[in-house]
């Protein structure tokens, strides 16, 4: 794989959504599972805790300190990947006037092996490929918190001024992401740069970070009557991982889960490597003693079965370029076609659950909840905001919404 020309690709702005990712991910799909070292790819955006200065729009930023929970010390951190300048972790909270609470998990890629973890995205729109700083490249996963991570700079679900937003007056807890493990790891993983063999470590501590946040929430967030657990991209997986803990924290709340652009279409080999390197944390109360062995495509279905009085939903586009690209890095043949076919098949299986709903939009954009598309999407047969509003109401939930599923992928996506 030597001598491959470096790709100079568009950057990802987490405030925009997903359409800007299209050309970027086509290059990623074409690469092999072991990415050549010089090819650039990218991804999507109390006492123990000390509040910092308040952010705009009423957001309060909290920089948590280490806490001891059930005899174990948890120190919040980012990945500590090579090239990062800080491991400081924070989260944001905004108190609303309504009776609901939104817990939103942000996205930002993932890494699980030498090839992917050696390509972090850093603050200042930098990448650090195989131990070398590259100002013009972009990374596979977000390794430290970026200036644009603040929720006050995002729209969609987080916009409290738009009258179309069904949760505009709810309280909100924003969970940033910088650990490469879809908010679900509890491990210090050891990797090596593919081209040099030099070792490095990654702190996959997304699950541990959330434990600290939950500890803070117990004494600082009023019990809501309604609860929306949501997330975009990697955050969709984090929302699924931590739905159970949030439901245990607020057992009386009428809860809704909404996963945005995280359909769980992966491979058994990816899940095996991921489980080992991340020490993937799924709650045994729902998934049993061998929780890690639950296939990604079954996680939301098992949650829906375990919590029959709550509602579960997912959004995706029919040919999501980012999800397809990551699937391509896991090794299947014809990833464009394979991802869409598997996504639709598994989605149909989940739709058999009476408390599960889905919205499939046309196209290949990635994520909706943080983007202007949140207010304009209607290719599923009804406006997305109307569909979400119906999902959140106490009466009969909406049906499954979908664009025609015969639509072909974009011309740039090789089947």
Q: In this predicted model, what pLDDT tens digit does every residue of 41-71 receive, in sequence order?
A: 333 333 334 444 445 579 999 999 999 999 9
Cα–Cα distance between 298 and 281 in angstroms, integer? 15
Q: How confident is the model at residue 139 (pLDDT cuts 50, 70, 90)?
A: confident
Q: What is the per-residue DSSP string for 225-236?
A: SEEEEEEETHHH
Global pTM reads 0.88
The answer for residues whose C-beta is within 8 angstroms of residue 299's C-beta and 6 or more apart is 237, 240, 264, 282, 287
Parallel, antiparallel, or unpaired: how do β-strands 171-175 and 91-94 relate? Answer: antiparallel
CA distance 139 to 293: 29
Task: Give the residue-averaged pLDDT of 10-37.
Answer: 33
> Token pair for residue 146?
């970026």
265: left (phi over 0), alpha (psi -120 to 50) or beta: beta
Q: Look over the chain and give the mean of its residue pLDDT values, rounded to a whole number.
A: 86
For residue 405, name the pLDDT band (cuts at 50, 70, 90).
Answer: confident
pLDDT class of 411 with cuts at 50, 70, 90: low
Q: Return the minimum-mean-pLDDT range out of 2-11, 45-54, 223-232.
A: 2-11
List the domain boundaries for the chain.
45-118+146-402
Bigger pLDDT: 22 vs 130: 130
For residue 361, the cross-strand partners are 317
Q: What ranges in 279-383 are assigned the alpha helix state H?
A: 284-287, 299-306, 321-329, 335-350, 373-376
DSSP assigned state of 109? B
Distance separating alpha carbons of residues 201 and 20, to the nearest angstrom: 31
- Residue 151 token pair: 């929720």
Contact 202, 192 (CB under 8 A): no
The secondary structure of 241-278 as a DSSP string is HHHHHHHHHSTTSEEEEEEES------HHHHHHHHHHH
Highest mean pLDDT among 56-60, 263-267, 393-397, 403-407: 263-267
d(CA 35, CA 189): 19
Percent of the chain scoring above 90 in pLDDT: 76
Q: How far is CA 290 from the centre of its chain?
A: 23
261, 232 Cβ separation under 8 angstroms: yes
> According to the model, what pLDDT value does residue 127 have?
65
Helix axes 234-249, 206-220, angle to 10 degrees: 40
pLDDT tens per residue across span 332-387? 999 999 999 999 999 999 999 999 999 999 999 999 999 999 999 999 999 999 99
**pLDDT on residue 133:** 59
Looking up tokens 């439901």 gives 247
CA distance 328 to 324: 6
- How is domain 45-118+146-402 classified at the architecture level of CATH? 3-Layer(aba) Sandwich (3.40)
Kind of pairing between the strands at 100-105 and 226-232: parallel
Whether the predicted pLDDT of 210 surpasses 70: yes
b/e map 360-383, b = 16+ CB within 10 Å: bbbbbbbbbbbbebbbebebbeeb
Q: pLDDT band at 146, cuts 50/70/90?
A: confident
């Amino acid at each position: 794989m030597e001598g491959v020309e470096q790709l100079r690709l568009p950057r990802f702005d987490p405030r925009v959504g997903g359409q800007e990712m299209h050309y970027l991910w086509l290059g990623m799909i074409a690469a092999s599972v072991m990415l050549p070292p010089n090819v650039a790819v990218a991804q999507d955006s109390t006492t123990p805790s000390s509040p910092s200065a308040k952010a705009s729009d009423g957001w309060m930023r909290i920089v948590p300190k280490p806490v001891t929970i059930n005899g174990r010390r948890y120190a919040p951190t980012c990945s500590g990947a090579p090239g990062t300048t800080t491991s400081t972790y924070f989260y944001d909270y905004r108190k609303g006037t309504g009776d609901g609470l939104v817990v939103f998990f942000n996205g930002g890629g993932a890494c699980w092996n030498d090839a992917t973890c050696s390509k972090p995205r850093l603050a200042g729109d930098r990448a650090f490929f195989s131990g070398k700083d590259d100002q013009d490249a972009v990374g596979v996963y977000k390794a430290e918190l970026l200036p644009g991570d603040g929720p006050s700079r995002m729209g969609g679900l987080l916009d409290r001024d738009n009258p179309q937003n069904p949760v505009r007056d709810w309280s909100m807890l924003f969970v940033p992401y910088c650990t490469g493990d879809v908010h679900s790891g509890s491990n210090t993983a050891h990797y090596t740069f593919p081209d040099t063999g030099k070792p490095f470590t990654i702190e996959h501590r997304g699950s541990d970070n959330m434990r600290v946040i939950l500890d803070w929430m117990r004494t600082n967030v009023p019990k809501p009557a309604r609860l929306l657990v949501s997330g975009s991209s990697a955050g969709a997986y984090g929302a699924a991982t931590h739905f159970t803990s949030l439901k245990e924290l607020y057992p009386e709340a009428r809860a809704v889960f909404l996963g945005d652009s995280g359909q769980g279409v992966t491979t058994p080999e990816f899940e095996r490597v991921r489980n080992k390197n991340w020490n993937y944390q799924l709650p045994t109360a729902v998934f049993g003693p061998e929780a890690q062995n639950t296939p990604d495509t079954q996680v939301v279905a098992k949650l829906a079965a375990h919590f029959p009085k709550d509602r579960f939903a997912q959004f995706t586009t029919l040919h999501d370029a980012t999800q397809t690209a990551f699937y391509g890095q896991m090794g299947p043949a014809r990833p464009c076609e394979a991802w869409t076919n598997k996504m639709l098949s598994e989605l149909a299986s989940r739709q058999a659950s009476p408390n599960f709903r889905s919205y499939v939009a046309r196209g290949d954009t990635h994520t909706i909840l943080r983007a202007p598309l949140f207010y304009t999407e209607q290719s599923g047969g009804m406006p997305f905001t109307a569909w979400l509003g119906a999902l959140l109401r106490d009466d009969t939930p909406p049906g499954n919404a979908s664009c025609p599923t015969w639509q072909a992928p974009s011309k740039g996506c090789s089947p």
